[in-house]
Chain A
Amino acid sequence: MVKQGQCMAELQIGMSAVVVEICTDSGLRRRLQDMGLIKGTVVTCVGRSPLGDPSAYRIRRTVVALRKEDTRWIKIKPLKEEFNWEK
């Protein structure tokens, strides 16, 4: 099980992290690879939808919405806060 604070689903809005491991099923992993999300990619959480799920992530200069159910299987290592112009 992924530890608290270390999966992509728990990334706070405005925070960035490096993907450490993707433990999802192969179908989703393919989709994520298509989006350029692989081990070592930097992701930034840029928003949450009105009902709390899905969240929007910036991945390689595009924004992709992913569901919590899917992102909780992606292990990350948080980066220190870089810039956050929303606050």
Chain B
Amino acid sequence: MEKTLFLILSAVAIIGALVTVTRKNPLGSAIGLIVTFVALSGLYFTSDAPFVGALQVLVYAGAIMVLVVFVIMLLNLPEGELEEEKIPPRSWALAFFSVVPLGFLCIAQILSTKFEDKEPVGEGFGSVKAVGQLLFGDYLLQFEVVSLLLLVAIVGAIVMAKKRL
């Protein structure tokens, strides 16, 4: 059962990712990306991370993708702009000679590593309470720095998108 669920979710995630990078229309890419995010959220739930899975749906598939779709609609790209995307040969060469060896190395390394199977995770692993205690205990300073980062991002976004300063 768990294996079937994993296979379905991972297949959906990878197909969504492929749709994201191959569509000509950015709106199609955005839909593929939302599908990938939701499938990844399912994978988080199956790997004992319910808090992260919920966060993925709320923030990624919800807030961030709404913003992206909103901007795509706002820009209202002219038809000609979508047609004339020409990919130079050097891009293909660069992508092929960097990504393919990297992927080969990573996957060969993963498959050759032996991960020992442990007993099932304890009660409450990855729950909101457990992660929250870690977040507001050991990682309190980092958490506060993240709030500063978000503040700077808000100011930056307003300054950038304003018509004149």
Answer whether A and B are interacting partners: no
Please report A residues at the B interface, Cβ cutoff 8 Å.
Answer: none
